[in-house]
Structure 1
Amino acid sequence: MTATRVDAELIRRLPKAVLHDHLDGGLRPATVVELAAGIGHTLPTTDPDALAAWYYDAANSGDLVRYIATFEHTLAVMQNREGLLRVAEEYVLDLAADGVVYAEVRYAPELNTRGGLSMSEVVETVQEGLAAGMAKAAAAGTPVRVGTLLCGMRMFDRVREAADLAVVYRDAGVVGFDIAGAEDGFPPADHLAAFEHLRRESVPFTIHAGEAHGLPSIHQALQVCGAQRIGHGVRITEDIVDGKLGRLAGWVRDRRIALEMCPTSNLQTGAATSIAEHPITALKDLGFRVTLNTDNRLVSGTTMTREMTLLVEQAGWGVEDLRTVTVNALKSAFIPFDERRALIEDVVLPGYAAAL
């Protein structure tokens, strides 16, 4: 099937997998408005459509720090049990409605403790909400498997605490770990003790790298800290000249290290210049294990269907390419091999075969 015959409705029906999606960046605008009213938090606007537009406009600054600052209002409504339960449940239902069959949701528990909840209580509440969402999605005939990545904020001092929680809750829905926050100036090796602890406990982790900072960040994440995947990683292209891979780029490709790429988000933060020229296409064609992701659905005004549609319309992708990045994501998911294989063989490949 050629790209010109692929429309958004067909893409919406395709089974999808997302590895890089932040819980606090994917709320429904109407939910933010309702929860904010309940706690007396002032928003830029109380009209859901206008609020969605405010987020999108604020995020299109080309500045990662300003992009991150848009989370003030979503985090404000995620500080109590009611807010966390609702946000987590709706998170799952929205993905299911978009055709997602596997997702890894990430968030930093330390950012949800201002209302008095402990980090452990935050994790347990979010897992309860996710479970409720998965049960409802399954009952509606649109099952989705959601695993959790706990994040430590790289510019603060609770990264090891978050890593400890990833170990404690690894049999309760938590499948891995990440560090997030401002990348430039906060190298991953600052938290080496946390990553060594996770390796000793056999908990997989990814690291945000190669977005706001370049090759040294990716090198540290992989070679010093031992990350199994890279969040974003768009600047790995700095180690590729005229199609020839440098040592780091070769390491990433040859060892099938997944790159969690987020085209719309990368445009907003200035890490890429256009969808047509986003590195995901060139890296896919060079044989890298690229995956396609939303990053923050509210903040970026996007969905997996939209990300796929943009690549079809502006970068010449076809259904085969969409299938490739979906299978790539499942191959590198932080769940057991048999579960990954079942999703690929029983859900994803049949779904794409029907489209082809």
Structure 2
Amino acid sequence: MASVGKFKLCSRNSCTDPSLPTDAEMEQMEPLQAENIDAVITNNLILFCSIGGLQEQNQKLLKIVRELGSKMEAEEHEYHEALDQEQSEAMREAHEAIQDLAAQLERQKKSSKMTIQAYMKERDAFKAMLAWAERSGLHAGINAAELEDVQARFEAYKTEMGMDSVKFREELQQGHRDLGQVNVTLAKANAKIGYLTGKHFHSLTTSYCDLDNLTKRNQQLYDQYDANLRAEKKIWESIQVHLVQENKTLSVERSHLADLVANVQRMATLNDQERMTAGVWRTRSRQWMTRYMKAQLSQECDAVRHVTLQKDIDLNDPPGQDGTEQLSQAWESLVGAETSKVDLQERVNQLTCQLQGNEEKLAVYEHRPSVVNGTAPATEQDLPCEQQLEH
């Protein structure tokens, strides 16, 4: 027969022993083969695999104990009823037999008493007749025939009395034998009752011992289960305390991390503000420089146009010696102005490119579209170059 349970459940405290098999190994092991009734009881009523199996085993043991107790009580009740019925039947039969024997003896006694009284009356009658005959002197006249007749009657009386005595003695002995048989039957019945009582008491004692053993085993299983639950509860409590401590540590680390993030954000905000301020200042400075250079370029252009106009006038009007010198000076000024114009134009282009790059960066910082082609607000364009440079 295949065993339902495999091995006893190890307690939580002994689970750290490396020599004990794991739950997976216990599940993979084949069930033990039962060879006798003790092994069957052990496999089906004692061994279990897990806490659920232990609970089912406890329920099964409780059910078996209740059924066994009910069965024992029913058997004891039936046995007592059968024993009482058998004992009452035997007592009734013995009582009836004794009453029959007593009635028979009483009848025989009455019959014997009546016969004895009849014989005594007849004897008294014969004695009276004999005494009367002796007193009346008739004794001599009694013939031999009457004497023989009287003797024959007396002998018959003695014979009948002996036969009746023998019969009464035999009937009395038969009554004693019947009474002895009834007593023997009653003794046998009592012995049988005693034997059955002892057997039932032994069976009841054995059943009570088995019930006591099952109760003790059930209590041991309950104690073991309670110990396992207590150990598991302590483990869960320690785990809970550890988790609470870890939660506290994580909360502290989270608050510290939040402070660090806030500090980093604050520093990033300050850095962005500083970058934006420096970029705005540099952009404005370059814008002002560009406008100033544009103004100088415009002045140089005006001067060049003025010189060109003067040259045209001089070409139309032939100059003298002074005019030639002035023309040379004007030509040199024109060449210098052209060179300055080219340099200023290159510088303006460079500043314009830098200004556009700074405006794009500033737009990224301020989250607004960049200023195209170096245009600035109207309020700043209206300011003079000296004031812009002072700003």
Category of TM-score, reference length = shorter chain: under 0.3
Task: Give the strand-richer structure, 1 or 2.
Answer: 1
Task: Looking at secondary structure, tell me which structure has more helix per residue.
Answer: 2
Greater RCO (CA < 8 Å, at least 6 residues apart): 1
TM-score (normalised: structure 1) = 0.15
Instruction: Return the index of the structure with the highest Cα Rg.
Output: 2
Q: Normalising to structure 2: TM-score of the pair?
A: 0.14
